[in-house]
């Protein structure tokens, strides 16, 4: 077994990672969700732990297991993820937001199961959720904050706009229309976008991409 060339790279760092989807309740049995598997965030958490960091993973609903050695906070909704992430950021030196947070949540979730005969669910009033990445970036000071952008078109333009709008240090831009990238895929084709420019990465497994991201976080 060859020694890991990156061993100890993140020793002393406390890394916060958001991962997975969120579920926004319509009533106690129904929700609005999305296709995120949580794989990328779980790969990041595992890799950061392997590199010697203390890791807190704020994880939305997923069937995947959090890695060994990582503090995992399980959440359901965007609001719960927001509150858990902001609390954990108090003692973090780095934050990486890989979660697919719902952008909208039902304004008034019902407290009982809606019945189709007399409570038709033909429309749901939605309100926007809080932006975790933007809120962490606003209070980060000298701490490093990284976000993701999963796009279907104009990938780099959207990623650069997001970098500025959110105020984070880097965006990992991912073209989810490619067969080697995005939802459910085991590999990703990504670009590393910072104010210094854009770097194209090769198609990598999520574990390898996690390493590449964490090396760049270390080099900031
Ligand atoms: N994000 C977040 N909180 C939200 C929405 C997004 O922390 N409420 C984070 C994601 O984890 C990701 C980044 O912001 O790191 C970009 O998410 P994305 O959905 O691409 O950006 P939005 O600003 O929501 O823009 P849109 O969905 O319209 O493309
Ligand atoms: Ca969004």
| Tens-place pLDDT, residues 4-50 | 888 899 999 999 999 999 999 999 999 999 989 999 999 999 999 99
Other beta carbons within 10 Å of 100? 22
Confidence of residue 216 (pLDDT cuts 50, 70, 90): very high
Nearest to 194 by CA among 218, 175, 167: 167
> What tens digit of pLDDT does each residue of 125-135 get?
999 999 999 99
Q: Whose CA is nearest to atom 14 of ligand 1?
A: 133
> What tens digit of pLDDT does each residue of 154-213 get?
999 999 999 999 999 999 999 888 888 877 678 999 999 999 999 999 999 999 999 999
Measured from CB, residues less than 6 Å from any atom of ligand 1 are: 18, 78, 97, 99, 101, 103, 129, 131-133, 147-150, 162
> Are 88 and 70 a contacting pair, CB within 8 Å?
no
- Ligand at minimal distance from the CA of 99 is 1
């Amino acid at each position: 077994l060859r020694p890991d060339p990156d061993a100890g790279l993140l020793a002393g760092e406390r890394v916060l990672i958001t991962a997975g989807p969120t579920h926004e309740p319509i009533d106690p049995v129904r929700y609005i969700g999305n296709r995120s598997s949580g794989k990328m965030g779980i790969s990041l958490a595992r890799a950061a732990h392997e590199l010697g960091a203390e890791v807190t993973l704020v994880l939305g609903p997923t069937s995947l297991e959090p890695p060994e050695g990582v503090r995992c906070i399980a959440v359901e909704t965007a609001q719960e993820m927001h509150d858990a992430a902001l609390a954990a950021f108090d003692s973090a030196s780095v934050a990486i937001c890989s979660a697919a947070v719902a952008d909208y949540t039902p304004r008034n979730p019902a407290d009982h199961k809606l019945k189709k005969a007399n409570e038709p669910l033909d429309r749901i009033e939605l309100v926007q959720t809080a932006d975790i990445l933007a809120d962490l970036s606003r209070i980060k000071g000298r701490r490093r904050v990284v976000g993701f952008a999963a796009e279907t078109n104009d990938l780099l333009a959207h990623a650069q706009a997001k970098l500025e709008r959110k105020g984070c240090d880097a965006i990992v831009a991912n073209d989810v229309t490619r067969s080697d990238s995005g939802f459910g895929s085991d590999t990703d084709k990504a670009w590393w976008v910072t104010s210094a420019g854009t770097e194209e990465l090769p198609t990598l497994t999520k574990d390898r991409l996690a390493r590449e991201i964490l090396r760049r976080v270390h080099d900031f």
